[in-house]
Amino acid sequence: MKKKLLLGIFATGALVGALSTKAIAQVEEELSPEEEIRLVQEFNRMLAEGINPGEIWYEVGKEAIKKYNLDKCDLGLGPGVFKGAAAQMPRYFADAGKVMDLETRVGWCLQKYAGMSKEDVLKFVRQCWGKTGNCVSEYDGIIMYLTMESNGHKINVNLKDPRVKRMYDLGKQVYYTRMGPWDFNCATCHAGKQEVRIRATKLWSADRPGEAGNAVSIFPKYLVRWGLPMTMHYRYAECMRQMRWPEFIPHSDLGVALSTYLYGLANGTEIKAPGIGR
């Protein structure tokens, strides 16, 4: 583990160096074919060597949890009990009176135990959004740490709880809602029996068994082209931007509903964070 981690730090250093010519870009450039090929090679090398720079965020998160008093945070198994906790979320929380997924719950705990306002939390969550290269966010670290504490545990969303089931149903409705100036819904890309590609990218489908599980169980997912791990709520925001939908607010009930539907579909899949992608 330690050796892997060191390798990871080394690899990130090299990557950041390679990317620094572009610095922290505000607009994601369309990649030239050469850059695209270089990224794919870099990605393949990391896969082959078992390197995942995303693991660095585990240590970042471990520190941040102490710093922000999140050892008091109850993810459903008791305050500070994190082993396997992420695997049983989203779930209903009596203290908040609502169903929450991991990220929303962390936001709730940051307000309660770290003295953050709602606005502070949003800023904290989105500090690396839209940035590429060398952006390390404590929030991403916290989510990485808490998810990796459930590695090896099977996703187990309790759909027998009617409050959870309701969020699942709402999430499913959202999944099929066609909206916006390009008429998309989630199912435009992620449904259907037949496998299709968007350019070179194979799309997973909610209609093909196991694929939703494979997709969500590796989040947060380290993205080689951005040099940072992408959490689920950042993924939702980016999907919706591509769909030409309005801008997504992280930790909203909309996010919780989508998580409940997707992790509900993924029930039984082992968590293996962080994943890695181009």
Name the residues annotated as catalytic: 239
In this structure, what are the phi and psi dihedrals at residue 211, rounded to the nearest 5 degrees?
-75, -35
Under the criterion CB under 8 A, does residue 159 sit at the interface with other proteins?
A: no
DSSP 270: B
Q: According to CB under 8 A, which one of 254, 267, 272, 276 is a site residue for other proteins?
A: 254
State whether the Cα torsion 260-264-270-272 is positive or negative.
negative
The C-alpha atoms of residue 207 and residue 186 are separated, in whole angstroms, by 12
Q: What is the DSSP string of 115-176?
A: ---HHHHHHHHTTTTT--SS---HHHHHHHHHHHTTTTPBP---TTSHHHHHHHHHHHHHHT
CA nearest to 149, candidates 55, 256, 268? 55
Q: According to CB under 8 A, which one of 4, 45, 72, 178 is a site residue for other proteins?
A: 178
Under the criterion CB under 8 A, does residue 200 sit at the interface with other proteins?
A: yes
Under the criterion CB under 8 A, does residue 32 sit at the interface with other proteins?
A: no
For the bound state, the minimum distance from the C-beta of residue 272 to other proteins, rounded and expressed in Å, comes to 27
For the bound state, the minimum distance from the C-beta of residue 19 to other proteins, rounded and expressed in Å, comes to 15
Q: According to CB under 8 A, which one of 172, 221, 225, 235 is a site residue for other proteins?
A: 172
Give whichever of 145 and 222 is closer to other proteins, judged by the CB atom.
222
* Cβ atoms 250, 126 nearer than 8 A: yes
Under the criterion CB under 8 A, does residue 184 sit at the interface with other proteins?
A: yes
Q: According to CB under 8 A, which one of 18, 169, 276, 277 is a site residue for other proteins?
A: 169
Write out the binding residues for other proteins, residues 206-225 only, by CB under 8 A: 207
Q: Which two tokens stand for residue 223?
A: 């993205």
| Cα angle value 188/246/221 (rounded, 5°) | 65
Q: According to CB under 8 A, which one of 138, 253, 276, 278 is a site residue for other proteins?
A: 253
Q: Which residues bind other proteins (CB under 8 A)?
A: 26-28, 30, 126, 129-131, 165-166, 169-170, 172-174, 176-185, 187-189, 191-194, 196-200, 203, 207, 237-238, 241-242, 244-249, 252-255, 257
